[in-house]
Structure 1
Amino acid sequence: MSAETNLPTDPEAKVTDATVDVNGESEEFTLAPDGEPFDLSPENPADAETAADTPVDLQATVSALTQDIEALKAQLEDRTNQYMRIAADFENFRKRTQKEKEEQEQQIKCTTLKELLPVVDNFERARSQIKPQTDAEMNIHKSYQSVL
């Protein structure tokens, strides 16, 4: 059995492609960068067996992923509903506190006016009773009018 190759004779040369002539038949192959031929067969014989089982595994994986997607969609919908309820509760709280603030402000104004009414009434009675005739009386009249 004679084999001829077209490999370079220089030991430093890197060979990536080679042609081997064995018994008149020429075979061409590619060498790895380290000079070894590429092995295109599966490294692990078990890989060849799992390749045959791949459609079943893929179907199981797809069904598992589909279930995960459905679970995540349900969780997303639940979280969205929770968010909507919380947002509505917060909006109701904001409106309620604004209304309470306005009611409190109105109540304070009413209380203040109720306390001032007797004082205003007294000034009104004083104005109707006093008829200023002298300059001193006129000064007093102007004083309480300005306070009124």
Structure 2
Amino acid sequence: MMDCGKTGEVGKMKEKMMEGFPPEMLMEMMPECLEMMFAKLSPEKRSQLTKKLYGVLSKQGGAEMVKGKRKGLVVDDRIEELIAIGASVTANCQPCLEYHAGEAKKLEAETEDIQKAIEIGQMVKKGAMRKYNEFLSEFFK
């Protein structure tokens, strides 16, 4: 596993990236970077990465919810699978989408809920792509 701490080459790259880009720009770039990376991964690696990303995102989101108004919010397994469906669509990960849709169905998620999660993932991806394209058009100006 790579070292993403303060030491080693990856740590240095991470520090340099965080210094050079404001968080807002990283938020716009991240979906595009993930899309390019996912295209190079096998379906198994895509699934592993999606699970790791989901873990990181859920921990971060959970920390914010405890500090905010939604203290005590508990997300059930069905909702987690619907979130994973949206993330799978955003990441263009077909095996992930198939897996998480299957899991959602096992948990008795309604077809309409699965369709809505897919639509939300498409909207997020489209918005991120639009913003990233705007960024690229201004990059060398």
TM-score normalised by length of structure 1 = 0.20
More strand by share: 1
TM-score normalised by length of structure 2 = 0.21
Question: Which structure has the bigger radius of gyration?
Answer: 1
Q: Which fold has the larger relative contact order, with Cα–Cα distance below 8 Å and residues 6 or more apart in sequence?
A: 2
